[in-house]
Amino acid sequence: MSYWREKVAVVTGCNNELGVALTAGLVKEGMTTVGIDNDVEIVNEIAARVKFLASGKYNGKLVLFKCDTSSMDEVKAVFKKIVDTYGGIDLLINNAAYKDDSLINAGNKDTLKKTIDVNVSGAVACTRLTVESIMKRKTRGHIIHINDIRSYQLANQDTNSVYLTTKYAVTAINDTLRHEFRYLKANIKVTNIAVETAIEDNKPLLSPEEITDVVVATLNTPEHVQIHEIIIEPALQWYKG
């Protein structure tokens, strides 16, 4: 991780368990880590938890901003502030997600729009602004999408089809970006990390710290090595019950 020390990372959706672990993990690795989320009331709580998790190796810097990634105006304002303050963005982890428990053909239209705005439009907006910063400085960067393994395994009776469809779209976006960067000769890696989640509360079955270790290992690959996609799940889950 020597390359990434003192570089700038942005983690969206930093208020959930995985977001906190990712933020703490990058701070421990010496990065200036900017966590963004739409709930300003928990910012101080997040800061305390991240510093606790990163204690003993708290070598990086933690910055927190309120930002609703479904709002393009808020995204533009926050990313401009990050670039103006720290000179640029080198790493983006798209972890923000909104879950609408409904079908595509039925359900509340407002929550359907919110799901698409956060999971797809918001992720794309954050990606575009990060890429703009990287390419302007002609430097090296990485975009990581935290995805859901269930988007690969659509269940016949799953009511989360709107949410899962947006996560499937993220997989397509990741693959398209890889080809775009190759065409543009941009030194930017993209990785889609599909995580096994518990259906009842949408929390990872693996610990957030274990998933964070995979993210750090991905960042630690040589510059010429790109990991396109990772599917991560508990090794013994198929032997239960």
- Express each pLDDT in 207-240 by its tens digit: 888 999 999 999 999 999 999 999 988 776 544 4
What is the structure's pLDDT at 45? 67
From CA 133, how far away is CA 209, in angstroms rounded? Answer: 29
Nearest to 16, CA basis, from 95, 130, 112, 134? 95
For the domain spanning 2-239, the CATH number is 3.40.50.720
DSSP letter string over 29-46? TT-EEEEEES-GGGHHHH
- Express each pLDDT in 150-198 by its tens digit: 877 765 656 778 888 899 999 999 999 999 999 999 999 999 999 976 5
Query: What positions carry a catalytic annotation?
Result: 163
Contact (Cβ atoms closer than 8 angstroms) between residue 1 and residue 216: yes
Contact (Cβ atoms closer than 8 angstroms) between residue 67 and residue 61: no
* β-pair type (8-12, 32-37): parallel
Instruction: Please give the DSSP secondary-structure letter assigned to residue 60.
Output: S
Contact (Cβ atoms closer than 8 angstroms) between residue 191 and residue 142: yes
From CA 85, how far away is CA 31, in angstroms rounded? Answer: 15
- Express each pLDDT in 79-109 by its tens digit: 999 999 999 999 999 999 988 777 777 777 8
